[in-house]
Amino acid sequence: MSWNAGYVADIGYTAGFYRETAPGHMAFAALATGRSPGRALRPRRVLELGFGQGFGLALLAAANPDVAFEGFDFNPEHVANARKLIEGAQLSNVMVTETGFEEAAARGGANDLDIVAAHGIFSWVARPVQDAIVAILRQRLQPGGLAYVSYNCMPGWAPLQPIRQLMMQVKRRNPGHSDRQLALGLDLLSKLRQSNAGYFAANPAAARHVDAMLAMDRVYLAHEYLDEHWDLFQFAEIAARLADAKLAFLASATLSENLDRYAVPAALAPLLAGIDDPELKETVRDYAANKQFRRDLFARGSGELTAGEHLRLLAQLSFVLAVSRTRVRFMFQGPVAQLNGMPELYQPIVDLLAKGIATFDALLALPVFGPSNAAILLDCLTLLVESGQVLPVIGPAADVAPAKRFNRMIVAQARAGRVHGSLASPVARTGIPVSDFGLLALAALFDGMEDAGAAAEHAMSILKALGRRPFREGRLIEDDREATGFLAENFQPVLEEAVPVWQRLGMI
Ligand SMILES: C[S@@+](CC[C@H](N)C(=O)[O-])C[C@H]1O[C@@H](n2cnc3c(N)ncnc32)[C@H](O)[C@@H]1O
């Protein structure tokens, strides 16, 4: 068998950042549910299993310069790219190696890690590789350590499974490059869909799914649908497998999924409240929300917190606004319902944060809350964090220089036509989403152009050198004046609103 063991390796993976892999996010997810964050509160060593292009791993290393990061991936293209990012930003706290999980498990190790993250791996690798991941967790995670594991789950995938089966049939009958196999599979699916095949007529969710697939990134699709192995897990199966590494479920890293009034239809609340088996409860939540993908946090030996201990740990947290005050919305779109936050609760939080970073205790001291309402404040903060408008600030102040170097490198890559979607914040110790406009506006700002008009001229020259032009609502803008005007319109809010936020977050 070849080194990739059925895993797609002829198309490199996308270069994304996933906030659930950030130690601070994990610690907040635990505390938001009243559980101990264990070693995620002040981690020293973090391992990422299967880091793809290494973008997220390098970003986290830049944003957490006092934490040692390590990464394993068996794809040499991924390792080479990750090393380029690490060297480009001169990061000294991260090491990546071209290592398969089975090889790493055979090598062993000794309880040296505080966090292990495996995002988008477990469902897509063969059983022996899954076992190797569990062995790595068992060998290397310390007591008090956290594991983050995401995977495809039931029942959300149930009506969609035949889509993947058809894609695999096409792949097996058409040896060659994954690109071509994907194109052939998508073509067949879309023809079936257009002709309203019985499967799609009987399964409207499958029809919607194919429509969505046709608009998706091809690289992502190849890795989702063309790997030889594809397991759709029940939560209980994952819990049982990770129990072999002495791990117990802690919380969902998708923060809103821990709030039943938001993540589960109201009619099911009494049913859920009556279930006291935690594993069955999680499974019922999956059915209630027809979940397709889980992002789970497991802990190795996490004890229960008393109310007093919980408050003492919360007192170590601060919060910062991640968007400008004028952009904050109190409307939260959850998986099954939209929740309209009460302005009388949310407004004072956001007004205080607009003045600067605030501690949990300072927020609790707001007249609308007070010591007896910590749980209400925590729910509000959970939704503000989940919606990306507020970030937890955890741990000592970090050196901002590595993140600034990393961000300059990402902007330089954008000038060369390689666009990434996040930058590093050493204040929040995580990644912050950035649009193409944001990257181009920063390129201009770094070259000394501070007004939107000059930045737009600057961006046009970059785009022309790359043979590109801006699009407005899917239409290529041919006229230079219109294109520059369009860029200036989009740069204005970046320069006026986003740049001050990025400065507050220590990014530039
Ligand atoms: C779907 S990608 C996810 C990448 C990254 N975590 C992300 O979410 O962007 C899976 C990654 O695991 C790596 N991988 C798959 N099987 C592996 C194995 N047996 N040993 C080491 N790496 C493996 C692949 O090369 C790929 O980079």
CATH of the domain at 358: 3.90.930
CA distance 150 to 29: 15
Protein residues with CB under 6 Å of any ligand 1 atom: 5, 7, 13, 16, 18, 50-52, 72-75, 78, 100-101, 119-121, 124-125, 129, 223
Run of H or E residues at 318: strand 318-321
Question: Does 305 map to a domain?
Answer: no
Q: Which atom of ligand 1 is nearest to the CA of 129?
A: 19
CA of 98 to the centre of ligand 1 (A): 11
Domain count, the chain: 4
For residue 159, report the distance from its CA to the centre of ligand 1, in Å: 26
191 falls within a domain: yes
Q: CATH number of the domain at 262, please.
A: 3.40.50.150
Q: How far is the CA of 104 from the centre of ligand 1 (A)?
A: 14
- Say if 347 falls within a structural domain: yes
Taking only the tens place, the pLDDT of each residue in 239-254 is 999 999 999 999 999 9
Same domain for 237 and 208, yes or no, is no
Q: Report CA(73)–ligand 1 centroid distance (Å).
A: 6
- Protein residue with least CA distance to atom 11, ligand 1: 50
How far apart (Å, rounded) are the C-alpha atoms in residues 446 and 401? 15
Do residues 379 and 418 share a domain?
no
Distance between CA 458 and CA 415 in Å, rounded? 11
Q: Does the residue 69 lie in any domain?
A: yes
6 part of a folded domain: no
> Which ligand 1 atom lies nearest to the CA of residue 14?
9
pLDDT, one tens digit per residue, over 71-109 is 999 999 999 999 999 999 999 999 999 999 999 999 988
Q: Give yes or no: residues 247 and 382 share one domain.
A: no
The answer to whether position 306 is within a domain reads: no
* Bridge pairing between strands 113-118 and 141-152: parallel
Q: How far is the CA of 431 from the centre of ligand 1 (A)?
A: 20
Q: Does one domain contain both 219 and 277?
A: no
In a shared domain, residues 494 and 407 = yes
Look at ligand 1, atom 7, and give the residue with the nearest C-alpha: 52
Q: Quick check: is 429 in a domain?
A: yes
The closest-lying atom of ligand 1 relative to the alpha carbon of residue 99 is 21
CB-side exposure of 450: number of CA atoms within 13 Å?
2
Q: How far is the CA of 51 from the centre of ligand 1 (A)?
A: 6
* Helix 76-88 × helix 401-415 angle, to 10°: 120
Could you tell me which residues come within 8 angstroms of residue 277 by beta carbon, excluding any fewer than 6 positions away? none
Domain co-membership, 353 together with 440: no
pLDDT in tens, the chain (508 residues): 465 767 777 676 778 999 999 999 999 999 999 999 999 999 999 999 999 999 999 999 999 999 999 999 999 999 999 999 999 999 999 999 999 999 999 998 888 999 999 999 999 999 999 999 999 999 999 999 999 999 999 999 999 999 999 999 999 999 889 899 999 999 999 999 999 899 999 999 999 999 999 999 888 898 888 988 889 999 999 999 999 999 999 999 999 999 988 888 989 989 999 999 988 999 999 999 999 999 999 999 987 899 999 999 999 999 999 999 999 999 998 878 788 999 999 999 999 999 999 999 999 999 999 999 999 999 999 999 999 999 999 989 999 999 999 999 999 999 999 999 999 999 999 999 999 999 999 999 999 998 999 999 999 999 999 999 999 888 889 999 999 999 999 999 999 999 999 999 999 9
Q: Are residues 359 and 332 in the same domain?
A: yes
Query: E-assigned strands of 274-313?
Result: 293-299
Q: Are residues 357 and 435 in the same domain?
A: no
Same-domain pairing of 352 and 335:
yes
Q: Indicate if 238 and 204 belong to the same structural domain.
A: no
Residue after which a domain boundary falls, among 372, 393, 414: 393
Residue whose CB lies within 8 A of the most ligand 1 atoms, among 69, 75, 133, for a mutation test: 75
Q: Examine the fold and report which residue of 375, 393, 411 is the final residue of a domain before the chain moves on.
A: 393
Residue at which a domain ends, from 376, 393, 410: 393
β-bridge mates for residue 296, sequence order: 149, 252
By three-state DSSP, how is residue 392 classified? strand
Q: Indicate whether 342 belongs to any domain.
A: yes
Whole domain around residue 380: which residue ranges? 317-393
User: Could you tell me if 57 and 118 lie in one domain?
Assistant: yes
Same domain, 148 and 47: yes
Q: Are the C-beta atoms of residues 168 and 226 closer than 8 Å to each other?
A: yes
Nearest CA to ligand 1 atom 27: 52
